[in-house]
């Protein structure tokens, strides 16, 4: 099962950009297979619609990016990812109980 990271390449927000880079570097260093999906890319319209329908939303109803999914199940946002790392629960967060 592949972890999917939905992100946006065209953001002017430094905090979002840094969060995305952090997710990619942690997943790479832990040797997780992951797929990075840029929801801003025109060719990813289906994925953009999926994240709009299934993604975690802020209190104001807007989608929070980046978001991490295991197949079609939302694991959470960057803040959830950080919380999992801080509490040494990344495998559980990513729903990888028996990571190789």
pLDDT band at 96 (very low <50, low <70, confident <90, very high): low
CB-based contacts of 6: which residues, under 8 Å, 6+ apart?
37, 39, 47, 51, 55, 65, 66, 67, 68, 69
Cα distances (Å, whole numbers) of residue 47 to 25, 44, 84: 22, 5, 25
Q: Provide the whole-model pTM.
A: 0.89
Average confidence (pLDDT) over 2-28: 93
pLDDT 10s digits, 17-62: 999 999 999 999 999 999 999 999 999 999 999 999 999 999 999 9
Count CA atoms closer than 13 A to 79's CA, side-chain side. 5
């Amino acid at each position: 099962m592949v972890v999917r990271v939905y992100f946006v390449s065209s953001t002017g927000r430094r905090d979002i950009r840094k969060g995305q880079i952090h997710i990619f570097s942690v997943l790479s260093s832990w040797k997780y297979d992951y797929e990075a999906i840029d929801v801003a890319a025109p060719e990813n319209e289906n994925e953009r619609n999926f994240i709009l329908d299934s993604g975690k939303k802020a209190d104001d109803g807007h989608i929070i990016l980046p978001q991490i999914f295991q197949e079609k199940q939302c694991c959470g946002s960057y803040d959830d990812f950080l919380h999992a790392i801080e509490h040494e629960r990344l495998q559980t967060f990513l729903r990888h109980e028996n990571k190789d």
